[in-house]
Structure 1
Amino acid sequence: MLEKSNKATTRERSLLAKTAFMRSLSANALATLLDSAQIVSLGARASIFREGENAQAFYCLLTGYVRLYRMGKDGRQADFRICGPGDIFAECLVPQDARYPYSAQAAENVCIARLDCREVRQLAERDATVSTALIMTLSEHLKATTDILVNDRLHTAPQRVADYLLDRCPVDAGSASIRLPFQKNLLAGMLGLAPEALSRAFSALRRAGVSVRGRVIQISDVKALREI
């Protein structure tokens, strides 16, 4: 269960209204959801919901990062998505009463908006912009999941890390410096790697001029990294 929640402040309403999901809503639907949203602040490693619990709400992340994961019979956890500010998660459960098919945990201190599934479902029946926003969000998540599956099948661990770095590289050639927005164990989960596999991948990328110091990644030759 989540800790005590509060109505959104002016600042939190502004953050929520700017998210991709909320931007496409009608004025009436937006006002309704901003008024009903419950804001919860959680510390690092706090549970938001657990796999198998009754799904009463879905969430919009305002600040921080959240990991979504499944747990195997042996207790091992497999991250399949890392959510950042503005991301929606568990919206797939809005159309019907169900149980959460995975768990969500705060990766660091987070602020999230809790949106009631039944209320949003009823609102979607009255306002097409809500149902359209849900469809668009689900479509984007399906595409992202497909990309992840293809990437896992076609790319080695060093290539996955290289692709992540290059997507965030500020230059096409020469040297660059990138600071990870979160701890490396979260990056490992995002890329479908065990932490030790991520360490080996970074070691393999040294020949392309990649060095790691904490969260800061130095790339001495961006062009060489593209050839991995």
Structure 2
Amino acid sequence: MNSNLKLTSRDRAVLMKTPFLAGLGGNSLVRMFTNMTVVSLPTRKTIFREGEQADAFYCVLSGYVRLYRLNREGREADVRICAPGDTFAECLLYGGTKYRYHAQTAEATTLARFDIQEVRDLAEQETDIAKAIMTSLSRHLLSTMECIANDRLHTAPQRVANYILARCPVDGGPASIRLPFQKSLLAGMLGLAPEALSRAFSSLRKIGVTVRGRVIQVGDVNALRNI
């Protein structure tokens, strides 16, 4: 792990688009950046484990982070796949003292690390930082509610179709997208077991969706929309 990195202009741009920092300026933004450290981690590196004392939360600057739970038999269940610009574990600013899930890098990843106690102290001093925290937590709550609704309302093929449609560069006709990560991560993101994802892709083949590696070809976007 390299924790002596400097914030690049690209990293700063990613941070400034997050709900947590987008509304800050002046002294508050300076104090937040002063509190932050940048760390670089290799693939499949554990960031923290469920039950460990929570001392920091994070923002993904590059790469992907997998958040998951384990049961007693060792079975894994993905909670969330965090992409660049996503923050995680900030709920513990006011929601307990221990991490509620495991966090592991899915590929080589760069993170911005924020000390929980220091940010909590800053929020008590700066009202705009407190508001930024509430904005971020509200976004997470709304996103979680949307995820639960989609899981209950949509079949596995529909979840896959919706993911593809949200990233299609055209509204009709043929299209092609490239997954930014392995299909196993897509399965976790959509709340599916890997074998369920494979079956969903197989069912979409009849309307012209084919998968080769990370590339997904769509024969007709409108047909996919009507599934």
| Same fold at TM > 0.5 | yes
Identity of aligned residues (%): 59
- Give the superposition deviation at 1:6: 2.1
Show the counterpart of 2:122. Answer: 123
Could you give the per-residue CA deviations for residues 94-124 of structure 1, whole angstroms, max 9, x where no partner exists? 1265000111110100000110001000000
Show the counterpart of 2:111. Answer: 112
Q: Tell whether the 8 Å contact from 1:16 to 1:34 is kept in structure 2 after alignment.
A: no
TM-aligned CA distance change 1:7 to 1:218, over 3 Å: closer
Provide the rounded CA distance (Å) in 2 between the counterparts of 1:172 and 1:135: 35
- Give the superposition deviation at 1:214: 0.5
Matched, 1:88 2:87: yes
Provide the rounded CA distance (Å) in 2 between the counterparts of 1:220 and 1:7: 44
Provide the rounded CA distance (Å) in 2 between the counterparts of 1:203 and 1:15: 36
Q: One-letter code of the match for 1:180?
A: L
Show the counterpart of 1:204. Answer: 203
Provide the rounded CA distance (Å) in 2 between the counterparts of 1:166 and 1:17: 27
- Give the superposition deviation at 1:23: 1.8
- Where does the alignment leave 5 or more consecutive residues of structure 2 unmatched? none
TM-score, normalised by the number of residues in structure 1: 0.94
TM-score, normalised by the number of residues in structure 2: 0.95
Aligned length: 226
Show the counterpart of 1:70. Answer: 69
Show the counterpart of 1:29. Answer: 28
Show the counterpart of 1:6. Answer: 4
Q: One-letter code of the match for 1:117?
A: I
Show the counterpart of 1:58. Answer: 57
TM-aligned CA distance change 1:17 to 1:35, over 3 Å: farther
- Give the superposition deviation at 1:84: 0.8
Show the counterpart of 2:167. Answer: 168
Query: RMSD over aligned Cα, in angstroms?
Result: 1.4
* SS of residue paired to 1:5: strand
Provide the rounded CA distance (Å) in 2 between the counterparts of 1:199 and 1:22: 38
